[in-house]
């Protein structure tokens, strides 16, 4: 769980609180906290109350976006910190096109993972 800087806050279009995600995917808030703890979601403290929030783009159709967990694992293995992963996922890449997070939402995870693996070189 990371403090957020203005750059990343500006890159991520929308955020959800942990209770919002729990409701979205039909689980208890404790399960969402577990997903964050296990590294399957990235949560950051935002706003005046420093509330834990997750990028809304990580959730689609009542589930964690397909390919996200594997991509986060690859980036973590490459030595990325949570804030660096968020920056990479939400920075536009004209060769994709769009951002890696958008590509994951559009079921183009193979290409995103290929790029994440290339970062390790």
CA distance 42 to 36: 6
What is the rounded CA–CA span in Å between residue 1 and residue 44? 5
Question: Could you tell me where the DSSP H helices lie in 1-121?
Answer: 6-11, 18-25, 29-37, 68-77, 82-90, 100-105, 109-118
pTM: 0.90
What is the average pLDDT value for the chain, to the nearest integer?
92
Output the pLDDT for position 4. 60
Give pLDDT tens digits for 11-58. Answer: 999 999 999 999 999 999 999 999 999 999 999 998 888 899 999 999
Question: What are the residue ranges spanned by the domains of the chain?
Answer: 2-118
């Amino acid at each position: 769980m990371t403090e957020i800087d203005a750059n990343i806050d500006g890159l991520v279009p929308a955020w959800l609180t942990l209770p919002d995600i729990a409701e979205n995917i039909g689980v208890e808030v404790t399960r969402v906290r577990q997903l964050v703890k296990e590294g399957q979601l990235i949560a950051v403290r935002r706003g005046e109350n420093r509330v834990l929030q997750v990028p809304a783009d990580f959730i689609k159709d009542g589930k964690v976006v397909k390919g996200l967990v594997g991509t986060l694992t690859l980036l973590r293995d490459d030595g990325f910190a949570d804030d660096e992963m968020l920056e990479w996922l939400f920075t536009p890449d004209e060769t994709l096109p769009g951002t890696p997070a958008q590509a994951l939402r559009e079921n183009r995870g193979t290409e995103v993972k290929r790029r994440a693996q290339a970062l390790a070189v």
